Amino acid sequence: MKVIDLLSLSIKNLWRHKVRTFLTVMGVMIGAGAIIIMISLGLAMNKNFETQASQMGSLTMIQINNWNQGGKTADGKDIPVLDDAMIARIQRMPGVEMATPLMDLQLKAMAGKYTSYLYVMGIKPEALPSMGLTLNEGDFFTDTDTNVLLANQYLGQQFYVSNPRRYEPAPPDFNIMEQKLTVSVDMMYGEKLQQGQEPAKIPAKPINMRVSGMLGTAGGQYDYTIFMPIEQVKKLKKEQDKFNKANAGSSGGATGGWGMDSRFGPGGTQQSGYTQAVVKVKDMDSVSKVFEEIKAIGYEAYSPIQMIDEMKKQSAGLRQILGGIGAMALLIAAIGITNTMYMSIYERTREIGIIKVIGARLFDIRSLFMIEAGWIGIFGGVTGVAFSYGAALFLNNSNIDIMGGNQMWGPDGVTRLPISYIPLWLMAAAFGFAIVTALVAGFFPARRAMRLSVMKALRQD
């Protein structure tokens, strides 16, 4: 029997019992749709975890802190200094795209008659494009730039007129990109001395500074950061230390930042090195491995991926329950297919006997019933995918919050997160699973039809 004949005959046999076929297809549709919807709820939870965690920083970024350099790890190993050699070693780790030290510093700035404190972060210029930063104006600074900074979009709002009697902020249209900016390591720079305050014994020389660009809002942890080239910050830090030492006890003293620091470790031994660094990993699959390598050295480290992993662990049980409910629905549909095929065999026993007498092969008989089961799986899979997609649209566009926590506050206000997320691979997998389930359910009825005795089949009324 030709394949086209088997396909045509299988469709006619299903059409003869339209109601029964329709109900069986409905069962497969509900089963396939249920498994897609249930799994999509779990996938949406994972996706929402990643979205929420990304507000705390890029998911491929690792923050390194070395508060305990010179100390010991839990297993007794020395915690090495986080210096340039160590940064280079981390840069060479498999999966690492970029590694840069960070160095914080507090400065004082003036723009016209306005003044402000600046909390700047030194960074390698070549690392800026990998930080996930966006620009509203201007450009990133480069290795060749000097006396330059990269401002955040809120910096202009931090400037004010130095007036002891009242606070006078800069006007709303104050654009720091258009101002002549000077900075100083003296924290009293630009301030009017009050009664009893003494000027610095050795004043600090202000430095003309250029704003290369203004950062936009990316929803990350560096939206409020002011960046400077790290070599420039190191130079200013030395000047600030020198200024503080020369003006000890006067009003011109300053509180420096932290980053590349000379400090005393355990036992009074002086240690030097960065206290912070940032690592950009090439992809999320490599984050955990790089993270563990950094922790093994002895440093404290943080990555948003930790929070995602913890959330996924807490919700793993719920996702398994949801997947189990969907699988159970499809199992029930498989039982319905088996029942439909057995009923079809009992009703067509005489027909099967006649087909055998006129020369049909056993393979043709088995194929006929398997194809009928396959058609049920195909129709049920297609309608199940369509049903689940429509249900997902309804859930995501309604005010229903069946999973909880489907709203997120961000720079642009409240964002509604999806309740259901159906990727293409899930639809394809559910469709294929429905067909396979139907074929498995139809295998034993088809086998029974193939093994029917011709004599008994012909005597069947």
DSSP sequence for 235-264: HHHHHHHHHHHHTTTSTT------SEEEEE
Higher pLDDT, 298 or 132: 298
| pLDDT more than 90, % of the chain | 22
Question: What span, in angstroms and rounded, lies between the C-alpha atoms of 280 and 288?
Answer: 12
Phi and psi based region of residue 398 (left: phi greater than 0; alpha: psi -120 to 50; beta: remaining): beta
Q: Residue 9: which of 344, 314, 256, 282 has the closest Cα?
A: 344
Lowest pLDDT segment from 132-136, 242-246, 247-251, 351-355:
247-251
Tens of pLDDT, residue by residue over 1-11, are 677 877 887 88
Q: Which amino acid is at 20?
A: R
Higher pLDDT, 44 or 107: 107
Higher pLDDT, 288 or 354: 288
Q: What is the pLDDT of residue 271?
A: 45
Higher pLDDT, 250 or 325: 325
Question: What span, in angstroms and rounded, lies between the C-alpha atoms of 107 and 113?
Answer: 17
Q: What is the pLDDT of residue 272?
A: 66
Helix axes of 424-450 and 18-54: crossing angle, nearest 10 degrees: 150
Q: In degrees, to the nearest 5, what angle opens at C-alpha 242 toward C-alphas 237 and 243? A: 95
Q: What is the pLDDT of residue 439?
A: 87
Q: Above 90 in pLDDT, residue 409? A: no
| pLDDT more than 70, % of the chain | 78
pLDDT band at 259, cuts 50/70/90?
Answer: very low
Q: Above 80 in pLDDT, residue 281? A: yes
Q: Above 60 in pLDDT, residue 263? A: no
Hey, which residues does 430 pair with through a beta bridge? none
Average model confidence (pLDDT) for the chain?
80
3 state DSSP class of 36: helix
Length of the chain in terms of residues written: 461
pLDDT band at 20, cuts 50/70/90?
Answer: confident
pLDDT band at 403, cuts 50/70/90?
Answer: low
Q: Above 60 in pLDDT, residue 308? A: yes
Higher pLDDT, 202 or 355: 202
Question: What span, in angstroms and rounded, lies between the C-alpha atoms of 120 and 105?
Answer: 5
pLDDT band at 311, cuts 50/70/90?
Answer: low
pLDDT band at 256, cuts 50/70/90?
Answer: very low
